[in-house]
Structure 1
Amino acid sequence: MESGEVQLMPCHHVNAVGPMGGITSAHMPLLVVENQTDGNRAYCTMNKGIGAVLRFGANGPEVIEHLKWMRDVLGPVLSLALQNREPLNVNVLVTKAIAMGDEFHQRNIAASLAFLKEMAPTIEGLDIEEDKKQAVIQFLADTDQFFFNVMMASAKSAMDGARQIQEGTIVTAMCRNGHEFGIRIAGMGDEWFTGPVNTPKGLYFSGFSEEDASPDMGDSAITETFGVGGFAMIAAPAVTRFVGTGGFDDALRMLTLLKRPDIPVAAGAQVPLVKPLETAPEVHGETGLDGADLPEPGFLPQSLPAIELMARVLQESTEKVTLVVTRPMINAVLFLRTCPDLAREKIDQIVFMGGAMGLGNWQPSVEFNIFVDPEAAKIVLNFGLPLVMVPLNVTHQAQITKPEIDEIAQLDNPVAQAFVGLLNFFERYHEDPKWDFVGAPLHDPCTIAWLINPALFDGVDINVDVETTGELTRGETVCDYYHLTGKPVNTKLLLKVDRAGFISLVKELLASFG
């Protein structure tokens, strides 16, 4: 560069955009998006995946080898596949994905999966080496942010079309170069209007802080220029919280009742990875905590997203942490995909209430939590961390009877009274003769009971996976009880509980709030 043999210029000056470092060279394969309305094209490099990659400024043999693979395998295979099918309609993919929770800057999971769904059959049909086809399909399946670069090029093509407007003040580009923040305005030609750029206030790897960071850079704000990204978070609330039944307001009210404002609460995702959200108000009520007289929240939630709070808790912990999941697994999978190294370093095990072996409470063989987001559950179960599964097989044994509820009602403390109120509502659903229950099953408390006293439970160590494509079984947890598949053990599956000991523990804990 000092000799002038290598010249640098903004990607925007050649109808292109580049995320983060934005490095684009003549040897890199590019995504091409055509704006058929305005007759222009825009370009972007392909997403390089996670880890040590060029867009984050990483350099070294592994980075170079990965770039060569993208040049020699990924680019040619995708190019050939696109030549063997009709052009991909980006608008259709965007429409689908935003309804599934993507906002196209920090979350592109649904769009990336939709892209894979469109491309995989064509890739599989190509007359090329099988290992190349498999490698490309696996890369697309593993790269949740792959569509991000497609969206950037799409937004660039649309906003360059808007540059043809000679009168008006439409902002057609926003970008950062590590020194300045710049915008372009329709009708003002190629002129940039600039100001100082900020240093991001965000989540850093262990041992690093804002002092180690460089000022913000990259062309990714083209998504916000187009109107998605940060401006679509309300329309795509997957980056705010997961509803299911109730929301984080319930957690604030419950912790206020327990007088535990020291426990932080953050907003998580609201919709599943792929399928539309389904809820169960008939089970827990419209609020998720119907029947309980809970106080109004006495403190505020954290301002950061749930996955950032999870990361902060793990970073600050001096010992390994157990992650307990009692709802669909979207937040768990978002964290595992965002911070995989931190998860492997600091998470001791994941204990989850969900699934069943041969039972179902929402479909004949499918439990509700897994049914809501089977794709997320499948990723969590195959991530490689130790798992403890608390299925319907054991929670249906952990029933509390009406006389036992009446006994708890005699406890003179607000926590026990709230518990009774919740159960008085919850047990109505389970009075249906089809369940053949003598009481109401205490599903979620079994996770904590196992952590407090695992001797109350019996289980087996087996492989568990999740069916995600079956017409009748999507969301079924496939439990390899007899080790027929040869897959490695990944889960401790609980199958029996000492009901009397379990109920005694519940009573003891509720009495402790007196």
Structure 2
Amino acid sequence: MPADEPSVSILLDCDTGIDDAVALAYLCSRPEVELVAVSSTPGNVDATQVARNNLALLELCGRPEVPVAIGARAPLSLPLVTTPETHGLQGIGYAELPAPYQGIDPRHAVDLWIDAARERPGELTALLTAPLTNFALALRAEPRLPELLRGVVIMGGSYYYQGNTTPTAEWNSHADPHAAAEVFAAFSGMPEDRLPVVCALEMTERIEMHPEHLSALAREAACEAPELALPDQPEGLRSTASVPLIRHLSDMLRFYFEFHRAYGQGYVAHIHDYFAAGVAAGRVRYRTRLATVHVETDSPRLTGTTVADFRGLWAEPHNARIVTENHPAEAFDELIRSLGTRARAQGGYDR
């Protein structure tokens, strides 16, 4: 590990998910990032499939020692709704990952998180790229978590910006709005440096991946890479890239590109969770603005809508730092350099 790069210890909660998969692979590529544990929340797919995806990805990325646990099996109050149209039946598009050797950790994800935070107070950053179900349950069990954690980064919500699930709601917040409301309430009035950093849709949709980014990643990995996810090839075509990590990511991202094109957004992929991972790892530039966040839980048409009071009109304490500026070109340079270097080091090994 380079001496000039600080170590970052991360507890990741995700619902893997194509963009979660890119985020997880990226974190594995950073030598200064310690992944303490990965908890699996139901969302894009059910919790068991999320955990299998996480185990397989960690092994693919050379990090099989990281424990993967399951917590909640459904949102706090609503039925579970998954997104096969967005991420595929298994959550990873067209990719077919090898079955993992490791098993799911027998501990409940909430217990794993609380034990880790108590053992290492002030050291761990929580990165939340899923519905906030598990984190809400952890806060119920240990209300001191906001003080025990070094920091919290959330991917979720949309503020004065079109939603991607309903006209006003982003997916993670819509999937479990009650959990999101509990999480923001838990941070109300805390010191500014303890408030969660929120990477909302208006920032993460700026992290718009194009096929050229994937081609650049393959070149960085020194990968012989025919049949990458290019728009002029038949839908569903599988990659034959020589480096396994690039091949599987290509098969995931092809599905994601095709999804976005089918919904009129072009042959692109919004890799929301990667940006949040870069924030948690301290590797991307951004700015935030203090706000008081409300999550709507009662109105049927507005369920999951997040509203930010930036001006103090509610006269309520702040509970979030919402990202208001990021730098997509720099973020993609970071992703390509880091992930490509890791993939190149692994070479063409496949099992």
Shared fold, TM over 0.5:
yes
Counterpart selection for 2:207 from 393, 398, 405: 398
Which residue of structure 2 lines up, in the alignment, with residue 21 of structure 1?
Answer: none
8 Å CA contact 1:374, 1:468 repeated in 2: yes
RMSD (Å) for aligned C-alpha atoms: 1.9
String of CA shifts for 1:220-273, please: whole Å, max 9, x gaps.
xxxxxxxxxxxxxxxxxxxx9635424211111111111212211111111111
Shift of 1:318: 5.4
Name structure 2 gaps, 5 residues minimum: 1-39, 188-193, 224-242, 345-351
Counterpart selection for 2:151 from 349, 371, 376: 349
Name structure 1 gaps, 5 residues minimum: 1-239
1:478 paired with 2:280, answer no
Matched residue of 1:350: which SS? Answer: strand
TM superposition score normalised by structure 1: 0.51
Matched residue of 1:260: which SS? Answer: coil
8 Å CA contact 1:354, 1:370 repeated in 2: yes
Counterpart selection for 2:131 from 328, 335, 360: 328
1:414 paired with 2:244, answer yes
Could you tell me the percent identity over the aligned residues? Answer: 27
8 Å CA contact 2:42, 2:80 repeated in 1: no
Moved over 4 A (4+): none
Change (3 A) 1:506 1:241: closer
String of CA shifts for 1:325-345, please: whole Å, max 9, x gaps.
11111100111101223x144
Which residue of structure 2 lines up, in the alignment, with residue 291 of structure 1?
Answer: 94
8 Å CA contact 2:197, 2:288 repeated in 1: no
Matched residue of 1:307: which SS? Answer: helix
Shift of 1:433: 5.7
Counterpart selection for 2:142 from 319, 339, 349: 339
Matched residue of 1:328: which SS? Answer: coil
Distance in 2, Cα, partners of 1:510 & 1:360: 30
Distance in 2, Cα, partners of 1:331 & 1:337: 10
Choose between structure 1 and 2 for higher RCO, CA contacts under 8 A separated by at least 6 residues: 2
8 Å CA contact 1:463, 1:490 repeated in 2: yes
TM superposition score normalised by structure 2: 0.73
Shift of 1:454: 6.0
Greater Rg over alpha carbons, structure:
1
String of CA shifts for 1:441-469, please: whole Å, max 9, x gaps.
11111111112346522331111120111
Shift of 1:512: 2.1
Matched residue of 2:65: which SS? Answer: coil
8 Å CA contact 1:408, 1:420 repeated in 2: no
Which residue of structure 1 lines up, in the alignment, with residue 274 of structure 2?
Answer: 445
For these two proteins, the number of residue pairs brought into alignment is 273
Letter of the 2:86 counterpart: V
- 1:28-43 maps to which residues of 2 (within 5 A)? none
Matched residue of 1:507: which SS? Answer: helix
Matched residue of 2:198: which SS? Answer: strand
Which residue of structure 1 lines up, in the alignment, with residue 255 of structure 2?
Answer: 425
8 Å CA contact 2:153, 2:276 repeated in 1: yes
Shift of 1:414: 2.5
Which residue of structure 2 lines up, in the alignment, with residue 242 of structure 1?
Answer: 42
8 Å CA contact 1:267, 1:306 repeated in 2: yes
Letter of the 1:251 counterpart: N
